[in-house]
């Protein structure tokens, strides 16, 4: 593998807590695909890990609740014909998923006030436009 996969800051995916499983992948590959286990399944016990700060762990458990099975997060990769590249893809995907799940919530949007002058100018221009249109009617011409 190419090294520790950083989730955010100094927190990385702990190698000791990652569980790898390999199986035969479907798709192209010729005769070679029938004998090699190139599909990768990476599992990470999110509920039992001590590698994440408690706040991040709670946030991730809440946000990934639909993807977890007994507190375990699972990612599968089978895009490449090489097991090595599928391992890389799965690890990067797992790190990205955890980074998004542990990100702090965005700051609430503060409503901006429209300055009074802008509103008054808009209403004044609407009034002028209405006067222009009213002046086009032929009622006064006799």
| 55 belongs to a structural domain | yes
Q: 24-43 pLDDT, tens per residue?
A: 877 666 666 566 778 899 99
Q: 95-139 pLDDT, tens per residue?
A: 999 999 888 889 999 999 989 999 999 999 999 999 999 888 877
Q: Whose CA is closest to 27, among 89, 79, 93? A: 79
pLDDT tops 70 at residue 3? no
| 112 belongs to a structural domain | no
Query: How many structural domains does the chain have?
Result: 1
Provide the 3-class DSSP secondary structure of residue 18.
strand
| 98 belongs to a structural domain | yes
> For position 62, which CATH number holds?
3.30.160.20
Percent of the chain with pLDDT over 70: 88
Q: CA 73: distance to chain centroid?
A: 15
| 115 belongs to a structural domain | no
- 80-99 burial: b if 16+ Cβ within 10 Å, else e: bbebeebbbbbbeebbebbb
User: From CA 24, how far away is CA 35, in angstroms rounded?
Assistant: 8
| 61 belongs to a structural domain | yes
| 130 belongs to a structural domain | no
Q: Which residue has the tokens 């192209």?
A: 28
pLDDT tops 90 at residue 142? no
Percent of the chain with pLDDT over 90: 30
| 28 belongs to a structural domain | yes
Higher pLDDT, 75 or 47: 75
| 135 belongs to a structural domain | no
Range of the domain at 54: 6-102
């Amino acid at each position: 593998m190419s090294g520790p996969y950083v989730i955010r800051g100094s927190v990385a995916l702990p190698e000791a807590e990652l569980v790898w499983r390999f199986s035969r992948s479907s798709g192209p590959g010729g005769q070679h695909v029938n004998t090699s286990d190139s599909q990768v399944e990476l599992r990470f016990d999110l509920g039992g890990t001590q590698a994440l700060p408690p706040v991040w762990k709670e946030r991730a458990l809440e946000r990934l609740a639909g993807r977890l099975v007994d507190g375990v997060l699972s990612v599968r990769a089978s895009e490449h014909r090489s097991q090595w590249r599928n391992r890389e893809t799965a690890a990067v995907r797992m790190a990205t998923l955890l980074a998004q799940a542990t990100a702090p919530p965005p700051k609430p949007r503060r409503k901006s006030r429209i300055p009074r002058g802008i509103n008054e100018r808009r209403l004044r221009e609407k009034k002028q436009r209405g006067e222009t249109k009213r002046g086009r009617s032929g009622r006064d011409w006799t």
